[in-house]
A = this chain, B = another copy of it.
């Protein structure tokens, strides 16, 4: 389409960077992927990303109006750089946003990848039709982002929506963050696999037994699809843990919608029922009756959201 306004979004992870061209309404126009290779340094990454963006645009009529970056780690969105990222240490402090903006000659915005996924869910999945929303991203870790009164709310230092480390069980399972009892220690990727392995170790019959030692959440989802009791039990526990975290989230924020996104959320058909069952028994009724909990139906929300957010920010200026 000639003259179509679109943005480019980069979802920068420790291994791969996804690049999406997205229309203002949230339609995915084109998608590509490059390796991030943090070890080669941020300048090499910028030139690789710029080439990929240009390649993506060459197949389209027109250039993106703006570029958005969602990065895995603690982002200083004011400076447009990473403060801390366990998987992209060489990027720390590098002015990624401004380097990309200069190289491409376009305005750029940068935020945490989970915040960008939340914005993506808000625009693409909810068509901006709600005021208040929380997105929970389930991947290796559990993250999230908030939309408050129709705007992305990143908190005072950019880390609002850190759902993964909310404590749901005092003194509970140990978490990768060094603490105990975090939601991530019950519903993160590693926790999901460990729960399955423990059930297998207890001697239960399961389709998963031959896969022990190299299980992945998608295997556990497939087993549950086939009615496997261990698979079902794992997702029931995940749903219960999510219920505990989301219950506190609803009491605190009283949102319209909670969207669960990320690769692991594909198992929603197995964990949504126990999750909703948990919330159904909350005595403090109204905010729970009001809030809908759903699983995102769109892939690549991080890259889509970053592109959309860059359009939002550049149009506000």
A280 smallest CB distance to B (angstroms): 12
Using a CB-CB cutoff of 8 Å, which residues 162-182 of chain A contact chain B? 162-163, 165-170, 177-179
Taking CB atoms, residues of chain B closer than 8 Å to A244 are: 167, 170
| Inter-chain contact A255/B148, CB cutoff 8 Å | no
A177 smallest CB distance to B (angstroms): 5
Give complex CA distance A256, B154 in Å: 12
Which one of B130, B162, B178, B284 contacts A251 once the chains associate, using CB atoms below 8 Å?
B162
| Inter-chain contact B177/A284, CB cutoff 8 Å | yes
- The chain B residue sitting closest to A144, CB to CB, is B252
A288 smallest CB distance to B (angstroms): 10
Given A148-B148, A179-B284, A284-B165, the answer on whether A156 and B290 have CB atoms closer than 8 Å is yes
| Inter-chain contact A161/B252, CB cutoff 8 Å | yes
| Inter-chain contact A255/B156, CB cutoff 8 Å | yes
Give complex CA distance A177, B169 in Å: 20
Taking CB atoms, residues of chain B closer than 8 Å to A157 are: 254, 286-287, 290
Number of copies: 2
Using a CB-CB cutoff of 8 Å, which residues 218-269 of chain A contact chain B? 244, 247-249, 251-256
One digit per residue, 1 when the CB lies within 8 angstroms of any chain B CB and 0 when it does not, for chain A 57-98 equals: 000000000000000001000000001000000000000000
Give complex CA distance A255, B167 in Å: 18
Taking CB atoms, residues of chain B closer than 8 Å to A166 are: 248, 251-252
Q: Does A155 contact B (CB under 8 A)?
A: yes
Taking CB atoms, residues of chain B closer than 8 Å to A132 are: 155-156
Give complex CA distance A146, B156 in Å: 13
- The chain B residue sitting closest to A290, CB to CB, is B157
Give complex CA distance A283, B75 in Å: 18
Give the interface centre of A146, A168, A177, A286 by most chain B CB atoms within 10 Å.
Answer: A286
Give complex CA distance A162, B288 in Å: 12
Taking CB atoms, residues of chain B closer than 8 Å to A159 are: 251, 254, 284, 286-287
Give the interface centre of A146, A148, A252, A286 by most chain B CB atoms within 10 Å.
Answer: A252
| Inter-chain contact A252/B170, CB cutoff 8 Å | no
Taking CB atoms, residues of chain B closer than 8 Å to A282 are: 179
A220 smallest CB distance to B (angstroms): 23
What are 8 A-B residue pairs whose CB atoms fall within 8 Å in the complex?
A132-B155, A146-B252, A156-B254, A159-B286, A162-B287, A165-B284, A169-B170, A248-B248
List the 9 closest pairs (A to B, CB-CB), nearest first.
A155-B254, A178-B283, A160-B254, A162-B251, A166-B248, A177-B283, A156-B256, A159-B254, A157-B290
Contacts from A to B (Cβ < 8 Å): 74, 83, 130-132, 146, 148-149, 151, 153-163, 165-170, 177-179, 244, 247-249, 251-256, 282-284, 286-287, 290-291
Task: List 19 other contacts, CB 8 Å, given A156-B290, A159-B284, A248-B248.
Answer: A83-B286, A132-B155, A132-B156, A155-B254, A155-B287, A156-B254, A156-B291, A157-B254, A157-B286, A158-B254, A159-B251, A159-B287, A162-B254, A165-B283, A166-B248, A167-B244, A169-B170, A179-B283, A252-B252
